Amino acid sequence: MGSRLRSGAAVSVRACAKINLTLRVTGVRADGYHGLRTVFQSLAMHDTLTFVATRGPFRIECDDPRCPTDDSNLVWRAASLVWQAMGRRGELRGVTAQIKKRIPLQSGLGGGSSDAAAAIRGLSRLWRTTLPEPLERSVAARLGADVPFFLGGGTALGLERGDLLFPLVDFAPTWVTLVIPPFGVSTQDAFGWFDGDCVSARPDSPIDGPNRRRDEGGFWIGATGGRRTRLAPGEYRNDLEASVAARHPDISRIVRALRRRGAHYSAMSGSGSSVFGLFTSKELATQAAGALSKNGRLAVVTATVGRIRYAALTDPRPLLQA
Ligand code: C5P
């Protein structure tokens, strides 16, 4: 356990990003959260977290000065919950969490949530504990609606707040160009704008979003040839996109530009601000990234990651001590 750890023992964990291949808002819940029907997809792009056994109180260090290093960081809250779940009392201590941040903040790519899931895994390994799976899931759900997805990754359908998860057969391996505008969007703002736009569009229906189609067909998830997840064409949409794009028109410009440059689908991810394009070839994905990295935008080429590779990529690794 922590107190018996040699100072300097360390564990490193990758925290992969996600996109939402589709995001439908199905209602507003009694707890104020929105009901969702979303398909999460994990990506190879990742932060790296290293947990080092140190003396003294818990600390976070991050190479991105915009990332909070106090107890508002989900990594801190994850550490507290794991500490309590292990039956520890008193002040959280004995570890420094070092975060190498590559997933931009407030980009809809799940960086904070993925870091939190990585903290649950990494600290469990460092503290040599195994939380029973239901406890691990409930710790993750307490940290945020997206966090449970990052325990398993791959392709998954998320219902309720997005935290009731159904693993799907992996989406076909795909190149992904991410374009991150020079502004972020807070999740709370995006849902607030969506609600406001719904009320002004149809006062009697708080969930009938501005871009919602009346002729909506059923939702189906199938497998092409029994192997890959496929969504019905009408399901490829993000209900939050129109409301965020109304405040940040660059979002729609990027969506259109990615399609012009060969993406077979492009949309805003989650609550924004990033926009993704799906490409069948790395060359096209790279060309699109080159063309779109201007006006303060960051463009990155990455790829989808299936469930088995996700497990290998995000498995905590003990670091050898000098
Ligand atoms: O769960 P998380 O802390 O990531 O959510 C941030 C905010 O986003 C919530 O406080 C809520 O306002 C909004 N949200 C929502 N419905 C969801 C997920 C998030 O309204 N399903």
Q: Shortest CA distance to 117 belongs to which of 66, 156, 175? A: 156
Q: Any bridge partners for residue 59, and if so which? A: 96
Ligand 1, atom 2, residue with closest C-alpha: 144
What 3-state DSSP class applies to 178? Answer: strand
CA 2 to CA 128: how far, in whole Å? 8
| DSSP structural state of residue 239 | T
**Residue 202, pLDDT above cutoff 90:** no
CA 70 to CA 60: how far, in whole Å? 7
Token pair for 209: 């979003």
What mean pLDDT, rounded, does the chain reach? 90
pLDDT of residue 199: 77
User: Predicted confidence band at 8 (pLDDT cuts at 50, 70, 90)?
Assistant: confident
User: Predicted confidence band at 232 (pLDDT cuts at 50, 70, 90)?
Assistant: confident
Residue 187 Cβ contacting ligand 1 at under 6 Å: yes
Q: What are the pLDDT digits (tens) for 149-165?
A: 999 999 999 999 999 99
Q: What are the pLDDT digits (tens) for 137-147?
A: 999 999 999 99
Name which of 76-80, 164-168, 229-233 the model is least confident about. Answer: 229-233
Cα first-last separation, the chain: 21
Q: What are the pLDDT digits (tens) for 89-127?
A: 999 999 999 999 999 999 999 999 999 999 999 999 999
* Cα–Cα distances in angstroms (integers) from residue 154 to residues 109, 180, 193, 310, in the given order: 14, 22, 30, 6
Q: What are the pLDDT digits (tens) for 49-82?
A: 999 999 999 999 999 999 999 999 999 999 999 9
Ligand 1 centre to CA of 19 (Å) is 16
**Residue 185, pLDDT above cutoff 50:** yes
pLDDT of residue 213: 38
Ligand 1 centre to CA of 37 (Å) is 14
Active site residue 146: yes
Residues of the chain above pLDDT 90, percent? 84
Residue 141 Cβ contacting ligand 1 at under 6 Å: no
Q: Which of 146, 163, 197, 239 is catalytic?
A: 146
Give the number of C-alpha atoms closer than 13 A to the C-alpha of residue 286, restricted to the C-beta side. Answer: 3
CA 117 to CA 243: how far, in whole Å? 29
* Cα–Cα distances in angstroms (integers) from residue 59 to residues 42, 48, 76, 85, 177, in the given order: 28, 16, 8, 19, 34
CA 264 to CA 276: how far, in whole Å? 11
Residue 272 Cβ contacting ligand 1 at under 6 Å: no
Ligand 1 centre to CA of 167 (Å) is 21
Whether omega before 293 lies within 30 degrees of 0, making that bond cis, reads no
**Residue 264, pLDDT above cutoff 60:** yes
For 90, phi then psi, to 5°, come to 80, -170
**Residue 226, pLDDT above cutoff 90:** no
Sorted by where each starts, the structural domains of the chain and their CATH numbers stand as 10-170 (3.30.230.10), 175-303 (3.30.70.890)
Q: Is the pTM of this model over 0.75?
A: yes
Token pair for 2: 């922590």
